[in-house]
Amino acid sequence: MKLVLNLLFSLFAACAFAGEGHSHDDGHDHEKPSGRDHMATLGDLRLLHAWASETEDSDVLVYVEIENNSGRAVTLLGAQADFAARTELVGFQSQGGESGYTRLPKLPISAGAKMILKPKGVALRMVGVDRHLHEGDDFEFTLVFEQGEVAMTGQVEAENAAQHSHAGHNH
């Protein structure tokens, strides 16, 4: 547990803070993805450019940028996807020469903060994926927050996309 807490603390320290907080909409509605622009919202949360690398593996890592433009913290619990047996929130760690992803119970995101789920950081792991993800394809999934759920459209990128940073990706 101490390792998970240390990992979470490290991840929070890596958060980039975005702008001033705004009033929070307490609605817990399921919001719809906005189509090919790969953006979705839930109240004052803005979710941008969900993506995964092309793969034939049965486990897929999904990344997304989350902007919490509200005046209070939100908590990401995980995700759901019809094309996967289960999903889990994971964080990358390296210890004693070994590296890999460890399951996280949840991810708090501070008010006014931006959290980027990215390679060798925090990600959503889709386990037991039932199809090959081809570059250029879209996929649907739902992000689950304590505050509600939001449908999201992601895009499959080149097989080696995870080796490149998406921090500067244009939206």
For residue 42, the domain's CATH number is 2.60.40.1890
In a domain, 171, yes or no: no
51: domain range? Answer: 2-161
In a domain, 167, yes or no: no
Lowest mean pLDDT among 7-16, 18-27, 40-49: 18-27
In a domain, 135, yes or no: yes
Q: Is pLDDT above 70 for 67?
A: yes
In a domain, 27, yes or no: yes
In this prediction, residue 163 carries a pLDDT of: 64
In this prediction, residue 110 carries a pLDDT of: 97
Mean local confidence (pLDDT), 143-150: 96
In a domain, 145, yes or no: yes
For 26, other C-beta atoms within 10 Å of its C-beta total: 9
In a domain, 168, yes or no: no
- Please, is 18 exposed, middle or buried when counting C-beta atoms within 10 Å of its C-beta (0-12, 13-18, 19+)? middle
- Residue 12 — very low, low, confident or very high, per pLDDT cuts 50/70/90? very low
d(CA 122, CA 34): 24
> Domain count of the chain?
1
